[in-house]
Amino acid sequence: MKIISRKGAQESGGPVQRSSRARIALSVGSGLLFALSFPPVPSGVTAFVALVPFLFLLDDLPDWRSVFRWSYLTFFVASAGTLWWISGWWGDDPWLKVAGILVILFFPLGFTLPALGYTFLRRRMGQLFSIVALPALWTAWEWVMHLHELSFPWLLLGNTQTYDIQSIQFIAFTGAFGISVWVITVNALLFHMLRRWLGGQWKGMQRRSLMAIAALLLLLSLPRVHGSLAMDDGDAALDDGRSPRSLRTAVIQPNIDPYDKWGSGETPMSKLRNLLGIYDSLAAFHPDVALLPETAVPFRLLQASYEEEYSWLRRHIDSVGVPLLGGFPHTVFYDDPETAPGSARRIPDTQIRYHDFNSAMLLQPGDRMPEIYHKSRLTPLSEHIPYLDALPFLQDALTWGVGISNWGVGSDTAVFTLRGKFGSAGIWTMICYETLYPSFVAGFADRGAEVFGVITNDGWFGKSSGPFQLMQYTVLRAIENRRAVARCANNGISCFIDPYGRVYEKTALYTRTGIVRDLPLRSDRTFYTRHGDWLPLGLTVVAGFFFLFAFISVYYKK
């Protein structure tokens, strides 16, 4: 079946039949421009033109199979160019390598969906209609695709602009999906303008072309003007003392090999003492809290078999006087097998079932037990088998060569309460992959988190793009909620980020170090903090109406 409608052909003068070589150039070129828009390339500017060659490519394709095939190739190039590091080629775990390859092979399939939807609208309603609908269609797809357990929201267009913090301050209203709307709208407008000029519909500086140029200039300049005003106001507030409370935060980067730390070479007590060496040295700076990275304690510290290690840790924190917030595995047992979740493991030869959770704990001087948070957003395949409660027979399909396999999915919503000279403050730490979920993070700011932490273990991926990308994405969470962030990574990159996205004290990869900084405590809630993903939700409804209108139009034409 041909996908170029009579209406679309009339608009363009008939479909252009490009050679396979030209199609490959457009497809690969678009994929490369897309890949180059993500960190660590310190710009993101190519995102504003990355989809233009792809849209020209779609203009030419004769059938649905071609749309699927060329869309897959385009975003395979984009995914491979951005996520090449994900298989952990530096380590020895075969599961991580296999999972990484599968992600790169299957991830581009999702990108075929907006391409097919756009092509459907172009075929039914014409070129202009599909171009107008494209920003809503693309943003709706990004949002829906990040909601489920199989989601991997790494290559959202909103993640491309983390270096241009002056232009993205508006995400305090829209969330990072607002960046996606902005970027895809610029791409769509550029494509429409070039198509009109190259097709001969626009000649010279006619009124329509001048209006399009003016719209493009406004799209590119207004966010920057708004951002400059917002950042100036924020700096003025600090100068005026409108943010009187601050939290002196210490970040500990122990630089422990993630493949070795789970081994039996050291005793649990020696591992604890090694971890707290930097903690002791940073105490001289009188921090209000110290952060350790994800699973910094590589054993089940709160189980009875580690009572000696836990007692020693409590005494040490009481002696030093600095609260400690860090990662550890926490095991929860279910005595009744009938009420245990389907994903819970069973202790052999017993009816007792359990979950291991990738967790964070806040242990304060004088406390007998810590406050605990269980990680809720898990990396599919590498940390957790999706939908395991419904598919428990897959329980043993995920077996890591290191650490703990198949973490449980947490459901915690509480914010830690930190005590100090400032009175009390709400602090919450996202764990690694959770950084990618905007409204999830905003929910904790809405529930009282006045400052964010991030604890992560990016050392699986060597000196690659991965640690830089995840660190830069944290900038978005800071701006969306106007919260300062202390980022603590086992092997780096650790840093501090202010409420406007500026990064301070950034550490080098694979160094053992510690950093200290005063972070502002803020209790105000941004529009995005209060209302979450209102923009992509609204655009999903709008996209639905575009498709509904297309179906109704086809029905009445019959």
- Judge contact between 25 and 73, C-beta under 8 A: no
**pLDDT average, residue stretch 184-190:** 97
- Phi, psi (degrees; rounded to nearest 5) at 40: -90, 10
- pLDDT given for residue 199 in this prediction: 83
pLDDT in tens, 362-405: 999 999 999 999 999 988 777 777 766 666 666 665 555 555 66
**pLDDT average, residue stretch 95-106:** 82
In eight-state DSSP terms, residue 93 is -
- pLDDT given for residue 422 in this prediction: 84
* Helical segments of 240-306, H only: 268-282
- Judge contact between 215 and 192, C-beta under 8 A: no
Q: Mean pLDDT across the chain, nearest whole number?
A: 89
Question: Which is more confident, 347 or 134?
Answer: 134
Does 192 have pLDDT greater than 60?
A: yes
Does 186 have pLDDT greater than 80?
A: yes
* 64-90: b (≥16 Cβ within 10 Å) or e: eebbbebbbbbbbbbbbbbbebbbbee
- pLDDT given for residue 14 in this prediction: 45
User: What is the CATH superfamily name and number for domain 246-327+361-373+413-521?
Assistant: Carbon-nitrogen hydrolase (3.60.110.10)
The continuous run of DSSP H or E covering 142 comes out as helix 127-145
- pLDDT given for residue 384 in this prediction: 72
* Length of the chain as a residue count: 558
- pLDDT given for residue 259 in this prediction: 77
pTM, full prediction: 0.91
- pLDDT given for residue 340 in this prediction: 78
- pLDDT given for residue 385 in this prediction: 73
- pLDDT given for residue 3 in this prediction: 46
Quickly list DSSP for 1-60.
Answer: -----HHHHHHHTS-----HHHHHHHHHHHHHHHHTTSTTSS--GGGGTTTHHHHHHHHH
- Residues 448, 83: Cα–Cα separation, whole Å: 34
**pLDDT average, residue stretch 458-473:** 90
In eight-state DSSP terms, residue 518 is E
**pLDDT average, residue stretch 102-107:** 88
**pLDDT average, residue stretch 168-177:** 98
- pLDDT given for residue 346 in this prediction: 80
Rounded percentage of the chain residues whose pLDDT exceeds 70: 91
pLDDT classification of 91: cutoffs 50, 70, 90: low
pLDDT classification of 337: cutoffs 50, 70, 90: confident
Does 13 have pLDDT greater than 60?
A: no
**pLDDT average, residue stretch 100-123:** 92
Q: Minimum mean pLDDT among 132-141, 262-271, 412-421: which range? A: 262-271
Single out the residue of 195, 190, 191, 197 nearest to residue 213, CA to CA.
Answer: 190
Starting from the edge strand earliest in sequence, which strands make up the sheet with 495-497, in order? 416-420, 423-431, 451-456, 485-489, 495-497, 503-504
Q: Minimum mean pLDDT among 385-394, 460-469, 522-531: which range? A: 385-394
- Judge contact between 263 and 538, C-beta under 8 A: no
Question: Which is more confident, 76 or 412?
Answer: 76
- Judge contact between 438 and 176, C-beta under 8 A: yes
Single out the residue of 185, 205, 201 nearest to residue 49, CA to CA.
Answer: 185
Most confident of 151-155, 210-214, 272-276, 324-328: 324-328
Which residues on adjacent β-strands are paired with residue 497? 485, 503
The counts of H helices and E strands in the chain are 15, 13
**pLDDT average, residue stretch 434-455:** 96
Residue 39: cis peptide before it, omega within 30 degrees of 0? no
- Residues 528, 545: Cα–Cα separation, whole Å: 25
- CB neighbours of residue 333 within 10 Å: 12
* Helical segments of 333-437, H only: none
- Residues 371, 336: Cα–Cα separation, whole Å: 25
Q: What residue type is 24 in one-letter code?
A: I
Q: Where are the domains of the chain?
A: 9-237+533-557, 246-327+361-373+413-521
Most confident of 90-99, 378-387, 405-414: 405-414
Single out the residue of 519, 56, 521, 538 nearest to residue 248, CA to CA.
Answer: 519
Rounded percentage of the chain residues whose pLDDT exceeds 90: 66
Question: Which is more confident, 244 or 274?
Answer: 274
**pLDDT average, residue stretch 9-17:** 48
**pLDDT average, residue stretch 293-318:** 94
pLDDT classification of 43: cutoffs 50, 70, 90: confident
In eight-state DSSP terms, residue 512 is -
- pLDDT given for residue 202 in this prediction: 83
Question: Which is more confident, 384 or 48?
Answer: 48
Does 316 have pLDDT greater than 60?
A: yes
pLDDT in tens, 480-499: 999 999 999 999 899 999 99
- Judge contact between 107 and 116, C-beta under 8 A: no
Quickly list DSSP for 297-343.
Answer: S-S-TTSGGGHHHHHHHHHHHHHH---EEEEEEEEEEES-TTTS-TT
pLDDT classification of 344: cutoffs 50, 70, 90: confident
**pLDDT average, residue stretch 251-256:** 95
- pLDDT given for residue 8 in this prediction: 44
- pLDDT given for residue 225 in this prediction: 96
- pLDDT given for residue 118 in this prediction: 96
- pLDDT given for residue 2 in this prediction: 45
